[in-house]
Structure formats: structure tokens, C-alpha cells
Amino acid sequence: MLPLAALAGLLALAGPEAVLALGPGGWASLTAGIFLPGCLLLLFVSTGLQRGELHSLRAALLRQGRVADQHHLALEALLAEGREHTALLREQVRLLLGGLAQGQRQAEVAEALLRETRLSRLVAEWDVTARELSVLLAGMWRLAFGWRGPAGPGGEPGAPLPLPAPEELPLALLRLLPASAEEMARFEVDERFVRQAARYRATFAAFLDQVPETGPMNRALFRDMALGRVDARLALLPRPDHGRVVPPDWLAPDSMAAE
């Protein structure tokens, strides 16, 4: 305000001519004196405002930095929690796979035990069936060869014929029975032998129904045994005639089998 007051006093005392008499240098000094304080004041105010804005901006940046740090810490906590969950899931998966492997081993052991039990039961059934078949083979052998040998001189009764050993009976019947249907058609056999053969085949078929088609003990294995070959050979015989009455003086098959 001081330059303006000086200009006003100069105009009041000397008039406009005094102002014109100042010349370019005076005018410049006068103009600078008039406007420079305002410019300096404006510069000071703007500098203060800028510093205030910079301070506010710094405070906002610091707040944003603290918020970013908090977000970073929260993110690290989430990542750590995710890693823990991942480790927990991996452990659960490992335990689950271990349980599955153990369950599979238990299932394999149970299956092996079941298979072994089936084989043991099948072996036991075969032992019982083999005894029954041996009894029936003994009856057929007696029907074919009788109880005694040829009569001696003077009508003396022949010596008793011993049964072959159990392991030899199937081979004896195989040697006795024809191997083809044509030869079997010419084979003379009575009804008792045919009925014994039917009982033999029914017993062997009932056992084969319990044997699987595949595996270590299958039907082909038993059919290839001597008792199975006898069954195949007996299949060539005619079917039994159950309507035919067997005379009572014939030797009963049960009594022959008991021997």
C-alpha cells in the first residue's frame, strides 16, 4: 500500500506532470513498487498453500502406505493360511491314499483268503466225491468181473477176486469200456451196470457244478483226471431204463459197493 500512497501524494502535490517527469526509470520503479509487494504476497500465499497441499499429500501418501502395509500383511496372512490349508489337504490326501492302499491290501488279503478257502473247500468236496466215485467204480467192476475167478477142476469154486487198488480202479474201467460210440453200441452190459454208470455221472456232474470254468482248479482239470475220463467214457452208454424191474436174484449194486 505504501507505493500507492506515495503515488497518490505525488499526484496531489505536483499533479500529473510530476508523474510524467519521472521518466522511464521512474515509471519502472513506480510500477515495481506498486505491483511487486502484491506479487510477493501472492507468491508467499501460494507457497504456503503449496506447502500445505504437499503436507496433506504426504499425509495421504503415508496413510495409503500404512493401508498398503496392512493389506500386504493381510495378504501374507492369507497366503500363510492358504499354505497351511494346502499342507493340511496334502496330509489328508496322503492319509486318504494310505487308507486306500491299506484297504486295497486288506481286500487283496481277504480275496486271497477267500480264494484259498474256496480251494480248500473244493479239495475237501473232491475228496468226498472221489470216495463216492470209487465206491461206484467198485460196484461196476464187480458187475463186470464178479466176485470169484473161474471155477477150478471138479467144479470147485474159483478164488475170490480182489478189487484193484483205488488208484487202479479208474484205469481198469477205462481198459474195460470201449472208446467210441460204435464200439459201445456193441458192448454187452446189463441194466445194473448202466444204473451204476448213471449214478457215477450224476455224482461227477454235481461236483463239476461247483467248480469254476477258470482258475488253478477248473473243470477241464477234473475232466482230464482218470475219474473224469471214466465219466466221458460212461457217457457213451445207453440211458438207464428205470421202468425195467431188476430180478431179485441179481447181485444188488449196494451190496457190491459195500465190498
> pLDDT by residue (tens digit) across 25-65?
665 666 666 666 767 788 888 888 888 889 898 899 999 98
| pLDDT value of residue 29 | 65
Q: Choose between 241 and 94: higher pLDDT.
A: 94
C-alpha cell at 220: 477241464
pLDDT at residue 128 above 90?
A: yes
**Judgement on whether residues 34 and 136 belong to the same structural domain of the protein:** no
User: Does a structural domain hold residue 155?
Assistant: no
As a whole-number percent, the residues of the chain with pLDDT over 70 amount to: 74
How does 124-163 read in b/e, with b if 16+ C-beta sit within 10 Å? eebeebbebbbbbbbbbbbbeeeeeeeeeeeeeeeeeeeb
User: Which DSSP string do the residues of 167-185 spell out, in sequence order?
Assistant: TTHHHHHHHHS-SSHHHHH
Domain of residue 33, residue span: 2-70
Q: How confident is the model at residue 230 (pLDDT cuts 50, 70, 90)?
A: very high
- CA separation for the pair 137, 256 (Å, rounded): 10
Question: What is the model's pLDDT at position 167?
Answer: 87
In a domain, 182, yes or no: yes
- 194 neighbors 244 (Cβ within 8 angstroms): no
Mean pLDDT for all residues in the chain: 80
DSSP sequence for 199-240? HHHHHHHHHHTTS-SSSSS-HHHHHTSHHHHHHHHHTTSPPP
Residue that is last in its domain, among 70, 96, 130? 70
Cβ atoms of 137 and 174 closer than 8 Å: no
Q: What is the pLDDT of residue 132?
A: 93
Domain count along the chain: 2
Residue 141 has pLDDT above 70, yes or no: yes
What are the residues facing 160 on neighbouring strands?
148
Residue type at 158 in one-letter notation: G
For 164-203, how does the pLDDT look when each residue is reduced to its tens digit (9 = 90+)?
888 898 998 888 888 888 888 887 777 888 889 999 999 9
pLDDT tens for each residue of 73-97: 999 999 999 999 999 999 999 999 9
Report the C-alpha gap between 73 and 220 in whole angstroms: 76
Rounded CA separation 254/246 (Å)? 13
- The confidence score (pLDDT) of residue 41 equals 80
Residue 79 falls within a domain, yes or no?
no
Q: Is residue 129 part of a domain?
A: yes
Q: What is the pLDDT of residue 86?
A: 92
